[in-house]
Structure 1
Amino acid sequence: MVYQFKLISHEAVERIISWNYDGVYSFYNMDEDLEDLKEFREDAVSNENYWSVYQRDHLIGFFSFHEHEDNHIEIGLGMCPDNVGKGEGFSFLEAGLQKAVELYHPTSFGMAVAEFNKRAIKVYQRAGFQITHLFMQQTNGGEFQFVEMKKISFKTIIAKY
């Protein structure tokens, strides 16, 4: 798949905010947590750490990259609900990792994902992420269990994106 990365625009932020996921995945709807919504709306535009991802001029997702000590990159990401569950997650993630390698030359990657999201965890593990620990986090009006994952090896990152 060919992905195009662009620094996220105000228009892309507004489109991402309007995405609605079904069922248990509605947890990821931006309006489920007004604090996260406000933060995304205020922080993403004109921020070199937030990237929108396009496929044939169609916005299909976004990545955020946050650099920590020892050149560790924390990743946030989201895919358009129309693209979720269609087998595109792995190539989407690999393209995002490659973009981060180009931008930051990291020593490792980290991310957190809701524990119930087994589908995403499986994709992340396939890409070489390992579960480092579980933790509870306040979000969406409650407390939920999350999985922290880390990737040190870059063997699976293919420089074709």
Structure 2
Amino acid sequence: MQYQISAMDERAAAEIINWHYDPPYTVYNLNGDESEIESMLDGYHFAVRTAREGLVGFVCFGIDAQVPGGRARGLYGGKRVLDIGLGLRPDLTGKGLGQGFVQAGIDFAIAKWRPTAMRLTVLSNNQRA
């Protein structure tokens, strides 16, 4: 699948905050309020689209890519490490798209920031990831 990654726009953010994942992935559901749209327009969130499917997900970088509670556990040390977070549209999960989706996010980050290291943190109950 050919992914196009671009700056997050208000329309894409409004769609993403209303996505709902089934158990056990409900932890990834957002609240659907306007403050989440503003948060996604911070310059570190990017919309991921395909020509066929339209908006298929998002990728984010920095603090927003870190899992809740991870800092308290000391997971986020190191200098010049770029954290990456990803979200695939709920109806597309479990279909074998993950590896290509993640690689597209990594390739985008390398081209944009040239980090010396990248980190992806996955919650332990996310067996598919």
TM-score for the superposition, normalised by structure 2: 0.79
Provide the rounded CA distance (Å) in 2 between the counterparts of 1:69 and 1:41: 29
Q: Which residue of 2 aligns with 1:105?
A: 114
Question: CA 1:39 to 1:93, structure 2 compared with 1: closer, same or farther past 3 Å?
Answer: farther
Provide the rounded CA distance (Å) in 2 between the counterparts of 1:54 and 1:119: 21
- Amino acid across the alignment from 2:82: I
Q: What do residues 53-94 of structure 1 show as CA deviations (whole Å, max 9, x unaligned)?
A: 001161000011128974210111100011100000000000
Matched, 1:42 2:38: yes
Matched, 1:93 2:102: yes
Moved over 6 A (4+): none
8 Å CA contact 1:70, 1:107 repeated in 2 = no
Count of residues in correspondence between the two structures = 115
Provide the rounded CA distance (Å) in 2 between the counterparts of 1:70 and 1:51: 23
Matched, 1:114 2:120: no
Q: Which residue of 2 aligns with 1:58?
A: 54
SS of 2:105 mapped into structure 1:
helix
Q: Cα offset for 1:111? A: 2.6
Gaps spanning 5+ residues in structure 2: where?
Answer: 64-76
Q: What do residues 83-119 of structure 1 show as CA deviations (whole Å, max 9, x unaligned)?
A: 1000000000000000000011011111322111111
Provide the rounded CA distance (Å) in 2 between the counterparts of 1:116 and 1:69: 25
8 Å CA contact 1:3, 1:53 repeated in 2 = yes
Q: Which residue of 2 aligns with 1:27?
A: 27
Structure in which a larger fraction of residues adopt strand: 1
Gaps spanning 5+ residues in structure 1: where?
Answer: 121-161
